[in-house]
Amino acid sequence: MLMSNPYAYPLPVPELIERYRATYSGAVYDVLDEMGYPNQALAPDIKPVDRAWTLAGPAFTMKGIPEPTGDPDLRARRIHMFEAMKATGVPIIDVRDCSFDTQAAHYGEMNATVGSACGVIGAVVDGGSRDTRFLLERDFPLFCRYLSPVEAVKRWSYYDWQNTVSLRGALTSTVPVSPGDFLVGDLDGVVVVPRELVVDVLRQAEELIRHEDVVREEFLVSDDPVGVYRRHGRL
């Protein structure tokens, strides 16, 4: 059972977002790997639509399903998901498990528009998106697998939200994502930080980056790269 408030952390959400944005996916992954969580990277084809886009924030999860009938009840439920987004009271990432569907676009400019009004600061979609020009103009960070003009109606539908979902993984077939897990994304891909590790991973990633900065400077000025490596053990 999910906790009553998956967005209650030891630190405020805006601070966590700001500090995670100052890290990068590789550093966050390395920390998770060292902690015994190597399977937290999403599939390598889930990438930012704009190469410059980065993303960090807590997950709001959604499950969608293939739906060829255009069920009006499922369509009518969609607006309530956005109500639930707004009710979190914190900035969130719209995370979409599209049930491996590849027929349609599962995200678009209207999703970003309504979502932004409800606290959404980015989206990670294990599927497709469209309305790309408008998303680029909005500078709305979207990570997805492909772009397509195909409308989802009578092909795919929202089904449920705020439960644990599964997105394709880099090292495993899928990676579970629960509400409140933190996602960190950049050009290299997306890493999922389990909710209970969010603060610990952040602090360790920050320390790793500080250490890398020192090592980098030593490599730049030293005429003994082997000695630098022996001192720090990192390339």
Summarised one tens digit per residue, pLDDT across range 106-139 is 999 999 999 999 999 999 999 999 999 999 999 9
Q: Is the pLDDT of residue 21 over 90?
A: yes
**What pTM did the predictor assign?**
0.91
The band of 225, judged by pLDDT with boundaries at 50, 70 and 90, is low
Cα 122 from Cα 48, distance rounded (Å): 10
User: What pLDDT is stored for residue 151 in this prediction?
Assistant: 94
Positive/negative CA dihedral, 124, 128, 131, 133: positive
Return the closest-CA partner of residue 108 out of 70, 153, 68, 69.
Answer: 153
Q: What is the mean pLDDT of the chain?
A: 92
Return the pLDDT at 218.
61
Mean pLDDT, residues 187-196:
98
C-alpha 81/C-alpha 230 separation (Å) is: 53
Tens of pLDDT, residues 87-104: 999 999 999 999 999 999
Segment 43-62, tens digit of pLDDT = 999 999 999 999 999 999 99
pLDDT mean over 6-19: 98
